[in-house]
Amino acid sequence: MLLNENRFFPINENSRSIAQRLFQEVEKLPIISPHGHTDPYWFAKNENFTNATDLLIIPDHYVLRMLISQGLKLEDLGVAKNNEESSKKDRREIWRLFAKNYYLFRSTPSRLWMNHTFEKLFGINKTLNEKTADYYFDHIGECLKKDEFRPREMYDKFNIELLSTTESALDDLKFHKSIKQSAWSGKVISTYRPDNVIDPDFDGFIQNIFKLAEITEEDITTWSGYLNAHKKRREYFISLGTTASDHGHPTANTADLSQSEASELYQKVITLKADNNEKELFRAQMLTEMAKMSIEDGLVMQIHPGSYRNHNTGIFDIFGRDKGFDIPQRTSFVDALKPLLNLLGMDIRLKIILFTLDESTYSRELAPLAGVYPCLKLGPAWWFHDSPNGMMRYRELVTESAGFYNTVGFNDDTRAFPSIPARHDVSRRVDCAFLANQVAKHIILEEEAKDIAVELAYKLAKVSYKL
Amino acid sequence: MLLNENRFFPINENSRSIAQRLFQEVEKLPIISPHGHTDPYWFAKNENFTNATDLLIIPDHYVLRMLISQGLKLEDLGVAKNNEESSKKDRREIWRLFAKNYYLFRSTPSRLWMNHTFEKLFGINKTLNEKTADYYFDHIGECLKKDEFRPREMYDKFNIELLSTTESALDDLKFHKSIKQSAWSGKVISTYRPDNVIDPDFDGFIQNIFKLAEITEEDITTWSGYLNAHKKRREYFISLGTTASDHGHPTANTADLSQSEASELYQKVITLKADNNEKELFRAQMLTEMAKMSIEDGLVMQIHPGSYRNHNTGIFDIFGRDKGFDIPQRTSFVDALKPLLNLLGMDIRLKIILFTLDESTYSRELAPLAGVYPCLKLGPAWWFHDSPNGMMRYRELVTESAGFYNTVGFNDDTRAFPSIPARHDVSRRVDCAFLANQVAKHIILEEEAKDIAVELAYKLAKVSYKL
Amino acid sequence: MLLNENRFFPINENSRSIAQRLFQEVEKLPIISPHGHTDPYWFAKNENFTNATDLLIIPDHYVLRMLISQGLKLEDLGVAKNNEESSKKDRREIWRLFAKNYYLFRSTPSRLWMNHTFEKLFGINKTLNEKTADYYFDHIGECLKKDEFRPREMYDKFNIELLSTTESALDDLKFHKSIKQSAWSGKVISTYRPDNVIDPDFDGFIQNIFKLAEITEEDITTWSGYLNAHKKRREYFISLGTTASDHGHPTANTADLSQSEASELYQKVITLKADNNEKELFRAQMLTEMAKMSIEDGLVMQIHPGSYRNHNTGIFDIFGRDKGFDIPQRTSFVDALKPLLNLLGMDIRLKIILFTLDESTYSRELAPLAGVYPCLKLGPAWWFHDSPNGMMRYRELVTESAGFYNTVGFNDDTRAFPSIPARHDVSRRVDCAFLANQVAKHIILEEEAKDIAVELAYKLAKVSYKL
């Protein structure tokens, strides 16, 4: 057995037995996955996945980064260079390399997710290591050939009720359309992610703006045309089921410029005359513009600030984005959000979900802000903090000022489709552990904890994301 | 029963039984409340409170902020606008609104304090919810009509030995005088809080300065006259029992200007020619001036930095201060305090108690500073961190570098008079829990823990505040 | 008994018994002390220590700072002023003062280390207090006269396998030479610490540069001569066993200047024309230069940033460095290290061990950085955080993103030679406690935890420091 039935529960027996009872209330609830990065192509085409390495190693930046940190190289792990379509590396050899180094993942969430996938999805009970590497590779390969391991069948097996992917503002959502038109009952929606047409530092920003103009038939040489283009794109996303937007800015800065100031700034930005401060101001103003649109069209905003993307220039130049070299940075919210909150923060039609990679902001800034502004809700522990200890710290640092009802349940936020049930399992167990400790310390009653557990595992995600 | 006798104690049985024994040593000790914001009027006049809503909801910014965060409006909660004397909203209706939303407070300190008040003060054992709302409102209303629920009687019932309120530098302390002259034996003193005549950004700063001149008959057009005015006001406060001053600056910055520089700066400030940096420098210099006066007159300084006051301009304009919209900010102490500490930090006549809303400074800055400078002591977990987890984090992060004897015991810091025993109860229990864990891990002996528990619950407050 | 056999272990019985079993695997392992500040003179001369006060109080800045914080004065504790060779204060009187105030150290690591030394080294079982002060002073004094309490005999008794001291770039390492040439089998090596010839703000920087020139016979008026001087000194250290360098900069800033820019900057620095920004840039560039040299000569770099040294000017002027007045500051790594990491971060020949005094960087910056860059490893909880809670927080905050194998085992980092076994004992116990909790929560297996415990206690230090 790779998984113990009491994993992540409190060590104390009394508290553990409370956690067990709470977990019974939530274990079998359907999964709501309101924010993530799976590929809608999978669900549209429903083709079989090919092998363990392409499914579980190459696209998983958590796995890549740990192996790289110990001296392995991206090219040896099958990661394609920018000028290659795909790596020619032998998939079995890569898997063996992973197996040999699997001990490195001890006590990391990657191992928890992997072991869950191995046992629950592929029915494996042996530990992964050098000796079992080939067995794993072969067994998983066999499984993946079967119909029951195709994306739609997995989705159903995982008991997913709704899955949201994330697409850029320029995406045609053709796979979402095709899923919608299909006979399959699975619900896969998109999230409006306009960073590539908002962030002047994004690769190909100007080309993206031109593409935006083309798609929307708006005159993006004017500020109002540019805003209209966003509105049209949001409408289009909404028409296919989208309920949220997502904004991955370097900071949480917002602004409240007059329309003439904003218009002038926009002219600088699209004529490449904006300096770094002006680019940042533009991103800041655009968060406020997105909030204004949200009040009109109802999209829930998500703000994911504070990641220093592509920290290593050499790796970025050779291999591109999302290879494990994004590093969290100190983040501020109090001054940063003030312009937006002053303008719109008391409007109960607005919903903004905040995420952070800077845990020092949980108790200092985020819980106090979400604990008073009706528009603000707190997203779950994110990315590096999406782990048993990270989730526990989140509840411990956030709950006393923000309560439970200013949080939004769990996001798996993953590219790794097979890990979705593993991640929700960790989250539900850790929340039950937190609640069990609260009961054991006589802060809440067990009956209340049961209610709350269901909110955290299921209901809050539906309400918060308007699903 | 709303309260379990083992609330907040460790979950482990061995550690819990140690905590129980430690708590027996401190449970019945008198309450020292050396810093808070109750209204001296109550104790001077000893009038009956009117109803549950006016006593427990409308003045409690913790309660207001949580309700607002879920979309309720200040006007619906009976909060008067700036242009109203008081709200006309029906008090029973407000109470019902509160009762219906009471589940929002699960796992927040507000509920702990409220439940303690309901059970211990009003003898209620039913859970507050929509159904029991009227029972609560009626029962509390009945109680409040009785003599035994008047402020002085409550003070005695709460076993308070000393209570300090906080008054501005311009206050005449007439209620304190009247309390002192009364036959009642309760001890209610004030704290000298000069922010409104020190902070150039305070509403009405210039009028306040003129009022200060009038009261003290000093020529506040000169720097030395201004300083003399402070000295006279401090003397006056001291004559009525005051032992401490309090300084709620946005940052912990201090300065050490020459007298001519300080004098020039003061001229700019009172002629409204100071820019933002100069205003900050003036506040910084004034902390140092207050420290110099403390060495002379013995007042213990308290510095409460790091709150972004009145974060929402709209709310402030309509409803004014203290409505739940103060948000903690990142705070620095090491550079900020250096000018003052270089000048006066080794003088053992000086006592400065530091507070923070930025928990990342506990182990990084505050414990190391208080663990070496004889003038510095650490105030307890403050405001958003005045909660079971917040207090536990404080001890865990502070003790190893600062020990117990560089901390000052508990402050309830509250406007909510009925919550005082609840807050001290939480603090005593959490400190006993912390100490019990230290005993159970064999870091200290149980006999030592008993000593320390009494210090933390009672003695350190008296010594630190010179009571 | 001063020490309980279960000290620092988990309170829960199940978890505690796991910790006991894990500890059996590591308790008797030899001590690797790869970074510290003991005096090589002791091991070269092997003279008897003189008395308890000179051995345990006067050189221990942890002890001094706590006593000062409570109003004692450095002069009364036997600390020599800058203009004295040594203090004339009676050693027994100082010891009595310490004994009387020993209760101040409750729950601080100083007491843990002291009690361990008292019981394990000197065989004392009574509590230290005013009454036992003389007994202690006499007994320890008697012990110190015996051969078995001389430095080399202690080293052997402590089961030390290797001890590294730290010397400035200008040191002749004569004591290390003499140890090496002696018949004694103990291994005492040095660490190359060039701050005094790199940091333009270091006392006597220019004289130090001239001394560097003299020692190396390099033309330090040129940039290349200056770099060559470093190379020669590193070679000399390496010839006597050194495997690491150490850099105590105020920040973690690095730079990547062109050689002509660096050369110009160096000219400004040695002609005293550099302003504060240029001095910082010079320190930053020198970290990168040290990294380049490390790739060539194999020295492991250690970076210890973030201490505000000599915070109190008065104390520094009278008593000098290292008197307890160094205070941690907020520290940033992500931007700061980028120039170095962009240039050299993927080179697997480079090894850099990072330390921090800012615990907020553990999960936000350090673990994510070390979890991807092959050159980066994380040093253990440092200085104020070298304590049971500090070590536990380190593992809890670091492990999920960096794993165990991107950490380097324990450093005692001490000037207090007798405390070395005490410090390693705390570290081994706390790591076993952390691992036991991981086992009890079913995150890792007990067999894995045994492996990891040995890595953390012994193996990782040897590998990481190339010992």
Distance CA(A117)–CA(A138), nearest Å, equals 15
Note the maximum CA span of chain B: 67
The pLDDT score that the predictor gives to residue C1 is 85
- Condensed to tens digits (0 to 9), the pLDDT of residues A64-88 reads 999 999 999 999 999 999 989 999 9
For A304, the enclosing helix (H) or strand (E) is none
The pLDDT score that the predictor gives to residue B185 is 96
Whether the Cβ atoms of residue C357 and residue C381 lie closer than 8 Å to each other: no
Size of interface A-C (CB pairs under 8 A): 120
Task: Answer whether B384 sits within 8 Å of A367, measured CB to CB.
Answer: yes
Q: What does the buried/exposed string (b/e) look like for C104-132 if buried means 16 or more CB atoms within 10 Å of the residue's CB?
A: bbbbbbbbbbbbbbbbbbbebeebbeeee
Closest CA to C99 of C64, C128, C79: C128
The nearest CA of chain B is from the CA of C129 a distance in Å of 13
Q: Which residues of A touch B382 (CB under 8 A)?
A: none
**A1 falls in which pLDDT band (50, 70, 90)?**
confident
Q: What is the mean pLDDT of residues C47-56?
A: 98
The nearest CA of chain A is from the CA of C159 a distance in Å of 30
Q: What is the mean pLDDT of residues C175-202?
A: 97
Report helix, strand or coil for A378.
strand
Subunits close to C (at least 3 CB pairs below 8 A): A, B
Q: What is the mean pLDDT of residues A408-425?
A: 97
Whether the Cβ atoms of residue A104 and residue A72 lie closer than 8 Å to each other: no
Task: Answer whether B440 sits within 8 Å of C11, measured CB to CB.
Answer: yes
Q: Which residues of A touch C335 (CB under 8 A)?
A: 308, 329
Closest CA to B375 of B294, B306, B304: B294
Whether the Cβ atoms of residue A335 and residue A365 lie closer than 8 Å to each other: no
- Condensed to tens digits (0 to 9), the pLDDT of residues B42-68 reads 999 999 999 999 999 999 999 999 999
Residue B300 — φ and ψ, nearest 5°? -80, 130
User: How do the residues of chain A divide into helix, strand and coil, expressed in percent and rounded to 5?
Assistant: 55, 5, 40
Report helix, strand or coil for A313.
helix
**B367 and chain C in contact, CB less than 8 A:** yes
Q: Which residues of A touch B61 (CB under 8 A)?
A: none
Distance CA(A431)–CA(A404), nearest Å, equals 11
Helix axes B334-344, B276-297, angle to 10 degrees: 40
> In the 8-state DSSP scheme, what is residue C80?
P
The per-residue pLDDT of chain B, averaged, comes to 97
- What are the angstrom distances between the C-alpha of B411 and each of B162, B252, B414, B423, B456? 12, 20, 8, 9, 11
Distance CA(A73)–CA(B330), nearest Å, equals 39
**C17 and chain A in contact, CB less than 8 A:** no
**B109 and chain A in contact, CB less than 8 A:** yes
- Per-residue pLDDT for A240 more than 90? yes
Task: Answer whether A442 sits within 8 Å of B314, measured CB to CB.
Answer: no
**C222 and chain A in contact, CB less than 8 A:** no
Distance CA(B249)–CA(B269), nearest Å, equals 16
The pLDDT score that the predictor gives to residue B413 is 97
Residue B410: count of CB within 10 angstroms of its CB: 28
Q: Which residues of A touch C444 (CB under 8 A)?
A: 106-107
Strand partners, B192: B167, B245
**C403 and chain A in contact, CB less than 8 A:** yes
- Per-residue pLDDT for C312 more than 90? yes
Task: Answer whether C328 sits within 8 Å of B365, measured CB to CB.
Answer: yes
Least confident of B79-83, C260-264, C398-402: B79-83
Best of A443, A448, A454 to disrupt the B interface by mutation (most B CBs within 10 Å)?
A: A443
Q: Which residues of B touch C384 (CB under 8 A)?
A: 363-364, 367-368, 400-401
- Condensed to tens digits (0 to 9), the pLDDT of residues A430-456 reads 999 999 999 999 999 999 999 999 999
Task: Answer whether B112 sits within 8 Å of A443, measured CB to CB.
Answer: yes
Task: Answer whether B68 sits within 8 Å of A372, measured CB to CB.
Answer: yes
* DSSP letter string, A137-178: HHHHHHHHHSGGGSHHHHHHHTTEEEEE--EETT---HHHHH
- Per-residue pLDDT for C97 more than 90? yes
User: C333 to chain A: nearest residue by CA?
Assistant: A329
Subunits close to A (at least 3 CB pairs below 8 A): B, C
Strand partners, A244: A300
Share of residues in chain B with pLDDT > 90 (%): 99
Distance CA(A194)–CA(A245), nearest Å, equals 8
Q: Which C residues, 305 through 364, put their C-beta within 8 Å of a C-beta on chain A? A: 332, 334-335, 338, 341-342, 345-346, 348, 360, 363-364
Domains of chain C listed by start with CATH number: 13-46+159-464 (3.20.20.140), 48-149 (1.10.2020.10)
Distance CA(B426)–CA(B108), nearest Å, equals 12
Residue type, A2: L
Report helix, strand or coil for C311.
coil
At residue B236's C-alpha, the angle toward residues B235 and B239, to 5°, is 85
- Condensed to tens digits (0 to 9), the pLDDT of residues B220-248 reads 999 999 999 999 999 999 999 999 999 99
Do the bridges between strand C160-164 and strand C31-33 make them parallel or antiparallel, or are there none, so unpaired? parallel
Whether the Cβ atoms of residue A311 and residue A248 lie closer than 8 Å to each other: no
Residues of chain B under the 50 pLDDT cut: none
Whether the Cβ atoms of residue C113 and residue C60 lie closer than 8 Å to each other: no
Strand partners, A254: none
Task: Answer whether A324 sits within 8 Å of C372, measured CB to CB.
Answer: yes
- Condensed to tens digits (0 to 9), the pLDDT of residues A193-234 reads 999 999 999 999 999 999 999 999 999 999 999 999 999 999
The pLDDT score that the predictor gives to residue C259 is 96
Assigned token pair, A324: 């494990």
Task: Answer whether A360 sits within 8 Å of B357, measured CB to CB.
Answer: no
**C2 falls in which pLDDT band (50, 70, 90)?**
very high
- Condensed to tens digits (0 to 9), the pLDDT of residues A127-186 reads 999 999 999 999 999 999 999 999 999 999 999 999 999 999 999 999 999 999 999 999
**A388 and chain C in contact, CB less than 8 A:** yes
At residue B353's C-alpha, the angle toward residues B462 and B437, to 5°, is 70
Best of B63, B64, B69, B119 to disrupt the A interface by mutation (most A CBs within 10 Å)?
A: B69
Do the bridges between strand A160-164 and strand A307-308 make them parallel or antiparallel, or are there none, so unpaired? unpaired
Q: Which B residues, 429 through 458, put their C-beta within 8 Å of a C-beta on chain C? A: 437-438, 440-444, 448, 452
Whether the Cβ atoms of residue C331 and residue C356 lie closer than 8 Å to each other: yes
Whether the Cβ atoms of residue A404 and residue A435 lie closer than 8 Å to each other: no
Q: Which residues of B touch A444 (CB under 8 A)?
A: 106-107
Share of residues in chain C with pLDDT > 90 (%): 99
- Condensed to tens digits (0 to 9), the pLDDT of residues A294-329 reads 999 999 999 999 999 999 999 999 999 899 999 999
User: B311 to chain A: nearest residue by CA?
Assistant: A338
* DSSP letter string, B328-362: E-----HHHHHHHHHHHTT-TT--EEE--S-THHI
